[in-house]
Amino acid sequence: MTSTDRPWWRDAVVYQIYPRSFADANNDGTGDVQGMVERLDYLQSLGVNAVWVSPWYPSPMADGGYDVADYCDISPMFGTLDDADAFLACAHERGIRVLIDLVPNHCANTHPAFRAALSAGPGSPERSLFHFRDGSGPDGAEPPTNWGSLFGGSAWERVVGPDGPEQWYLHMFAPEQPDWNWANPAVAEFFDDVIRFWFDRGVDGLRVDVADGLAKDMDYPDTPIDPETGLGQATFYPGHPWWNRPELDAIQRHWRDIADSYAERGLGERIFVCESNVKPLDALMRFVEPGRMHTTFNFDMLWCEWEAGSLRAMIDRNLVAHAAIGAPTTWVLGNHDCTRVVTRYGKPETGKPFTLAGTPPEWLHRFAEYFYPLPTDAALGRRRARAAALLEFALPGPAYIYQGEELGLPEVEDLPDEVRDDPSFFRTNGRIAGRDGCRVPLPWSGTRSPYGFGVDAEPWLPQPAAWADLSVAAQDGDPDSTLSLYRHALAIRSAHPALGDGTLAWSDEVPGHVLYFTREPGFGCLVNLSAEPVPLPGGAQVLIASGPLEDGLVPTDTAVWLDLP
Ligand code: NOJ
C-alpha cells in the first residue's frame, strides 16, 4: 500500500485544540471557534494532518465542557453552528481533518433529558435514561452502592425534590455530570442521531470520551472497599461494574457500521478514536478489533518513565499488540487532563501523569499515577520533551500533539486556588492539583498577558509573566526554538517514505542506555537516555536533532533522526 492509498488515520499527526484556551477572537477572555478559524494557517504551517477539538457544546462548564447540555449545538461562549461549519470548511480547504469530542457517558445536569427525568419522578421512562436508584439504609439516606466518583467522593447524588430527599442518581465524574443509562435502547438511539448530526456536517471523526465506561452492571454490585476512603474502588479491575464491560462490543460495532456507511455512500471516511484507560493491553486491544473502533488512545507513552529500558519495552509491547490485530498504535505525550510533558520530565521522578497539591492524604498512595509536588527543572524537562517529540513522531502510527506542546509550554504549577476551575481539585479538597495548570491559554505574541490570546481581555486562567519567550511570535523565526523543531520534524515526517505507518527494527549498534531503531528505507532514530554523550551510528547523516550535538556526539536527553547509508 502506498502512502496515498493508506487510510489517513493510520499515521496522522493530530493536534488537540482545547477551545477555551486556544485563541480568543472576540476578546472576552475565553477562546472561541472564530479564534480557531483564524489560527488554521498556523496549524497548517505546523504541519498537522488533523485536529481534535475538545467539547465545544453548550455547557455549564462544571467540567470544562465535558458536561454537555446540548450535543447538537455550539456553546455561545465559543460561537455558533455557522462558526463550526466555517471551521470545518476552512480546515478541509487546508487539508486538515477535524475530529470532535463525543461525550456519551454523561451529560450536564442542565440537559433537557435530565431535567425531565428529575421532574418525572421515580419509575418514569424519563428516569430510565439515567441511573436513578433508591438509596440504601433507613429512609434510603445512604447511596445505593459504595461506588466512588473519579473526581472524589461518592458516585451517587441524592435528588432533593419538592417533597424533600428522594432517589439518587449515578455520576462517575462530577455530580453535575449524570451518567446515561446505556442499557436503555433509547440512549443508543439518541447518540446515533448525535453521531450522524456531526458526521453529516462533515466532521471526520469522533474522539469518544470515557469509551470504556458506558455500560454498567445493572445489578449494581458494590466494589471492594478501599479501607482508606471507605468508598468502593473506582479504578479498573477485571469484572468491574462499570469499566470495560462486554456490552461495549455491540455499542462499538454499531457505531463502526454508522461510520462505514459514509465511506460506502462515497461521502468519505469517518473514524473513531477511543479514550480508554483499560488495562491490561490485551483488554484494550478488543476495542480496535476488526469491526470495532479504528483507533484507541494508548496512554502508555504518557505514563512511561524517561528511561531507555522502560520506553523500549513500552513501545514493543504496544507495537506487537496492535500489529497482531492490524490496528495502528497511537502515541500521546500529553492532553488537557495531565501535567504538561515539559514539567513531568523535569521532575526527579518521571512516569506519573498527574500532580498532587498540598499534603497528600494517606489513601492517595494507592494512586500510582500521582507525583508529589517536587521541584521542576524546566530546562531538563524541555530538553527531554523535545527528544520525546522526535521519538513520538518517528514511531509507526498516529501521533497526538496537545496544544502548546509545540511551544514547549510548562505546566503552570502556581495557579492560586481562587482561579482554579477543575472539579477534581475541589472534590479532593485541593489535594489533587487538578488539570487547570495545563489549560492556561496559549501565548501567541507580545511580551505580556494576554500574549495575543485575545486583544486585552484578561484570560480565563492567568498566564505566567515569564511566557513572552515561549509565544508563537517569539519562537517563529528562531531555528532553535521548540516550534521550529516541531515544524521541521513534521515536514520531514510527511515527506520521508520510511515514516508514518509501518514497522521498526531495533539496533544495538550504539551501546548504553540508548534507544536506536531503524525504519526502511534508510531512516534511523536515536535517543540518548544515558548519562554520557554517544557516537552516531557509522555512516549516518543527521536529518534533525532535538538539541545541539557536541563534537559530533549525541548528548544526554537528545534525539536525532538519521539518514542511513
Ligand atoms: C475524560 C476527559 O478528557 C476529561 O477532561 C473529563 O473530565 C472526563 N473524561 C469526564 O468527561
CA dist 38 and 55 (Å) reads 19
Return the pLDDT at 428.
75
- Name the residue among 139, 126, 146, 187 with its Cα closest to residue 167: 139
CATH number of domain containing 148? 3.90.400.10
> Candidates 109, 210, 275: which one to mutate for ligand 1, based on the most atoms within 8 Å of Cβ?
210
Same domain, 141 and 64: no
CA dist 20 and 64 (Å) reads 8
- Residue 160 CA to ligand 1 center (angstroms) comes to 26
CATH number of domain containing 526? 2.60.40
CA dist 334 and 396 (Å) reads 18
Q: Any alpha helices (H) in 107-170, and if so which ranges?
A: 112-120
Return the pLDDT at 342.
96
Q: Contact at 8 Å (CB) between 107 and 68? A: yes
Question: Going by CA atoms, what residue is nearest to atom 3 of ligand 1?
Answer: 337
CA dist 357 and 373 (Å) reads 6
Return the pLDDT at 363.
44
Specify the residue for cell string 506519573: 352
> Candidates 66, 68, 214, 432: which one to mutate for ligand 1, based on the most atoms within 8 Å of Cβ?
66
Same domain, 318 and 380: yes
- Residue 216 CA to ligand 1 center (angstroms) comes to 18
Residue 245 located in a structural domain? no
Same domain, 357 and 447: yes
Return the pLDDT at 371.
57
- Name the residue among 318, 347, 313 with its Cα closest to residue 332: 318
- Residue 242 CA to ligand 1 center (angstroms) comes to 16
Domain count, the chain: 3
Provide the residue range defining the domain that includes 126.
112-170
Residue 337 beta carbon below 6 angstroms from any ligand 1 atom: yes
Residue 172 alpha carbon, nearest atom of ligand 1: 10
- Residue 2 CA to ligand 1 center (angstroms) comes to 36
Write out 37-53 in H/E/C secondary structure.
Answer: HHCHHHHHHHCCCEEEE
Q: Contact at 8 Å (CB) between 191 and 208? A: no
pLDDT one-digit tens code per residue, 99-114? 999 999 999 999 999 9
CATH number of domain containing 62? 3.20.20.80
- Residue 425 CA to ligand 1 center (angstroms) comes to 14
- Residue 339 CA to ligand 1 center (angstroms) comes to 14
* SS3 call for 161: strand
Residue 201 located in a structural domain? no
Residue 492 located in a structural domain? no
Residue 335 alpha carbon, nearest atom of ligand 1: 3
User: How far lies 295's CA from each of 55, 56, 271, in Å?
Assistant: 19, 22, 8
Same domain, 135 and 20: no
Same domain, 511 and 455: no
B/e letters for 205-227, b = 16+ CB within 10 Å, e = fewer, are bbbbbbbbbbbbeeeeeebeebe
pLDDT tens per residue, the chain (565 residues)?
A: 444 578 999 999 999 999 999 999 999 999 999 999 999 999 999 999 999 999 999 999 999 999 999 999 999 999 999 999 999 999 999 999 999 999 999 999 999 999 999 999 999 999 999 999 999 998 999 999 999 988 888 999 999 998 899 999 999 999 999 999 999 999 999 999 999 999 999 999 999 999 999 999 999 999 998 776 788 887 788 889 999 999 999 999 999 999 999 999 999 999 999 999 888 899 999 999 999 999 999 899 998 999 999 999 999 999 999 999 999 999 999 999 999 999 999 988 887 776 655 544 444 444 555 555 677 899 999 999 999 999 999 999 999 999 999 999 999 999 999 999 988 888 777 777 789 999 999 999 999 999 999 999 999 999 999 999 999 999 999 999 999 999 999 999 999 999 999 999 999 998 889 999 999 999 999 999 999 999 999 999 999 999 999 999 999 999 999 999 9
Question: Going by CA atoms, what residue is nearest to atom 6 of ligand 1?
Answer: 66
Specify the residue for cell string 554523550: 533
* The three three-digit cell numbers of residue 412, written as one number: 503552570
| Of the residues 153, 170, 187, the one at which a domain ends | 170
Residue 63 beta carbon below 6 angstroms from any ligand 1 atom: yes
Residue 291 located in a structural domain? no
Same domain, 365 and 320: yes
Residue 210 beta carbon below 6 angstroms from any ligand 1 atom: yes
Residue 234 located in a structural domain? no
| Of the residues 170, 190, 215, the one at which a domain ends | 170
Return the pLDDT at 228.
63
Return the pLDDT at 353.
73
Residue 174 beta carbon below 6 angstroms from any ligand 1 atom: no
Same domain, 441 and 474: yes
User: How far lies 363's CA from each of 248, 354, 368, 431, in Å?
Assistant: 31, 16, 11, 11
Residue 84 located in a structural domain? yes
Question: Going by CA atoms, what residue is nearest to atom 4 of ligand 1?
Answer: 337
Same domain, 403 and 460: yes
* Strand 523-528, strand 399-402: pairing: unpaired
Residue 140 located in a structural domain? yes
Return the pLDDT at 429.
75
Whole-prediction pTM value?
0.96
Question: Going by CA atoms, what residue is nearest to atom 2 of ligand 1?
Answer: 209
CA dist 342 and 507 (Å) reads 28
Question: Going by CA atoms, what residue is nearest to atom 10 of ligand 1?
Answer: 66
* SS3 call for 475: helix
Same domain, 95 and 119: no
Write out 387-423 in H/E/C secondary structure.
Answer: HHHHHHHHCCCCEEEECCHHHCCCCCCCCCHHHCCCH
User: How far lies 245's CA from each of 107, 278, 333, 472, in Å?
Assistant: 20, 10, 27, 44
- Name the residue among 173, 157, 175, 154 with its Cα closest to residue 165: 157
Write out 211-248 in H/E/C secondary structure.
Answer: CCCCCCCCCCCCCCECCCCCCECCCCCCCCCCCCCCCH
Residue 173 beta carbon below 6 angstroms from any ligand 1 atom: yes
> Candidates 209, 214, 402, 425: which one to mutate for ligand 1, based on the most atoms within 8 Å of Cβ?
209
Q: Contact at 8 Å (CB) between 294 and 271? A: yes
Instruction: Compute the residue count for the chain.
Output: 565
* The three three-digit cell numbers of residue 87, written as one number: 471551521
- Residue 547 CA to ligand 1 center (angstroms) comes to 34
Same domain, 420 and 513: no
Same domain, 79 and 118: no
- Residue 145 CA to ligand 1 center (angstroms) comes to 23
Residue 54 alpha carbon, nearest atom of ligand 1: 3
Return the pLDDT at 359.
43
Type and span of the H or E element at 514: strand 514-519
Residue 103 alpha carbon, nearest atom of ligand 1: 11
Type and span of the H or E element at 482: helix 482-495
Residues in Cβ contact with 415 at an 8 Å cutoff, skipping those fewer than 6 apart:
436, 437, 440, 461, 462
Residue 66 beta carbon below 6 angstroms from any ligand 1 atom: yes
Return the pLDDT at 368.
52
CA dist 543 and 202 (Å) reads 37
| Of the residues 147, 170, 193, the one at which a domain ends | 170
Same domain, 403 and 436: yes
Q: Contact at 8 Å (CB) between 398 and 295? A: yes
Residue 18 located in a structural domain? yes
